[in-house]
């Protein structure tokens, strides 16, 4: 099973901690047009964002929603990067791969380029001209890029990645 995960943040009022909504859609395969399961999880008291350390804020949210998934997951798709450069500097997905003991493949799908990241593979989907940027650990990045290209949906973002994003925003 494949888990696609996204996190949305809600700025709390005056002095209250930020809240996160993490969502996960579980897919039978890369080609799935519908989820096997959907999970939405609220995380209270999320730390503030520190530039250059995005993963410290997001990783606990991703792990919290994964703990709610009952299906056995062999691959996780995150919104962002797995590696940040050819040297292998870890992004959110890389830290997730390590947190999962290296036993679960992680694919990062980013909507914007990360400066100097030659490790990212550009994938243009549908009728669009703007690429998505794919990085991965536990699976060959070129294979992950092709799997993303084949995902269900006519547009730049595959149907299931749009779905997990919507779950976060609507919760």
pLDDT higher than threshold 70 for residue 17: no
Task: Output the pTM of the full model.
Answer: 0.92
Q: How many domains does the chain have?
A: 1
CA gap 55, 52 in Å, rounded: 8
- Position 44 scores a pLDDT of 87
Q: Tell me the pLDDT tens digit for each residue of 57-72.
A: 889 999 999 999 999 9
CATH number, domain at 146?
A: 3.30.2170.10
Q: Tens digits of per-residue pLDDT, 101-160? A: 999 999 999 998 888 788 899 999 987 789 999 999 999 999 999 999 999 998 899 999
Q: What is the pLDDT of residue 161?
A: 95
Residues 83 and 114: their CA atoms lie apart, in Å, by: 10
Q: Please state, rounded to an integer, the average pLDDT across all residues of the chain.
A: 90
Range with the poorest average pLDDT among 3-12, 19-28, 65-74: 3-12
The residues, ordered by sequence, that sit 6+ positions from 6 with a Cβ below 8 Å of its Cβ are 22, 23, 78, 79, 161, 164, 165, 167, 168
Distance CA 119, CA 30 (A): 22
Type and span of the H or E element at 47: none
Query: Domain limits at 44?
Result: 2-170
What average pLDDT does range 164-171 have in this prediction? 91
Answer yes or no: are the C-beta atoms of 92 and 78 closer than 8 Å.
yes
Q: Are β-strands 2-10 and 75-79 bridged in parallel, bridged antiparallel, or unpaired?
A: parallel
* Residue from 130, 135, 142 nearest 114 by CA: 135
């Amino acid at each position: 099973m494949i888990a696609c995960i996204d996190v949305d943040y809600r700025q709390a009022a005056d002095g209250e901690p930020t809240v996160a909504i993490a969502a996960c859609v579980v897919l039978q395969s890369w080609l799935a047009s519908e989820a096997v399961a959907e999970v939405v999880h609220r995380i209270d008291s999320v730390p503030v964002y520190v530039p250059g350390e995005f993963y410290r804020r997001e990783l606990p949210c991703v792990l919290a929603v994964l703990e709610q998934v009952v299906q056995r997951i062999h691959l996780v798709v995150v919104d962002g990067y797995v590696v940040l450069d050819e040297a292998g500097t870890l992004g959110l997905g890389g830290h997730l791969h390590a947190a999962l003991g290296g036993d679960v493949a992680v694919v990062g799908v980013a909507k914007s380029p990360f400066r100097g990241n030659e490790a990212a593979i550009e994938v243009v989907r549908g009728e669009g001209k703007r690429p998505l940027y794919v990085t991965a650990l536990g699976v060959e990045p070129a294979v992950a890029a092709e799997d993303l290209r084949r995902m269900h949906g006519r547009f730049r973002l595959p149907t299931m990645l749009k779905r997990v994003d919507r779950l976060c925003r609507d919760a």
